[in-house]
Amino acid sequence: MQSDGREIFINVMRQHNPLIKDELLTIIELGELRNYQFYRMMKGDFSMKNEKRDLQPEQREEILRILKTRFEKNMGRHKGLEWAEVGTKLENNPEKLWSLYEMEKTGGEPDIIVQDKNTGEYIFYDCSAESPKGRRSFCYDLKALESRKEHKPQNNAIDMAADMGIELLTEEEYRELQKFGDFDTKTSSWVKTPDNIRKLGGAIFCDRRYDIVFVYHNGAESYYASRGSVAY
């Protein structure tokens, strides 16, 4: 990085975080840190704190229209529910509407699968036929990403979900989703991995083949073009 470019870079970074250490800037300058890893480190300091999770009026209208159409087309997923009440709740909860917009933008096609009996909250799952295209080719989590010496993916499933304000499905939730259709018949999806498995370096993923839901294990650092993640 040339000296004048470095000075501009430092000034921009310090506008976001006045306490950023020179050592980190030096590492970045030397090219020893991938763009994504730097992004995660800086994001933890300032981005998520300052980010306003709200949509522009046209974006709100767009996602509400898409969700309403999908809701009415797939009433078997949410029998007894009425869109009028769902729509009102979403309009009054801009942060959750933002998360749904992000789910839609990455190909998740979210729809209501569950209503929490205790809170009355509507739970949207990714309902795309295959694993969301915008969330594929990622390893499981940041630890797995950092463990790779080369050919690192651009992101990881856990952090991307967190950035979107959502969570990966558990194996049980994934099986619940499969009651409402045939999902992941050509792809597969990371699901939330139990701590005891993750501590040993593994992670689990699921798919549907031969009309059966299968659960597999893999090294958490692995990633494939046909594997993504489903969330709620």
Domain count of the chain? Answer: 3
- Say yes or no: 154 and 192 in one domain: yes
Q: Are 220 and 135 in a shared domain?
A: yes
In a 10 Å sphere around its CB, with 0-12 CB exposed, 13-18 middle and 19+ buried, how is residue 175 labelled?
middle
Instruction: Write out pLDDT tens, residues 44-85.
Output: 444 444 456 888 999 999 999 999 999 999 999 999 999 999
pLDDT tens for 135-161 read 999 999 999 999 988 899 989 999 999
Same domain for 223 and 135: yes
101 and 135 co-located in one domain? no
Give the closest residue to 197 by CA, choosing from 225, 216, 224: 216
Token digits of residue 142: 């940041």
Of 126, 143, 170, the residue that ends a domain is 126
Q: What CATH number is associated with residue 174?
A: 3.10.100
Structural domain range at position 41? 1-51
Strand partners, 228: 189
Residues whose CB is less than 8 angstroms from the CB of residue 172 and which lie 6 or more positions away in sequence, other chains included: none
Please tell me whether residues 170 and 221 are part of one structural domain: yes
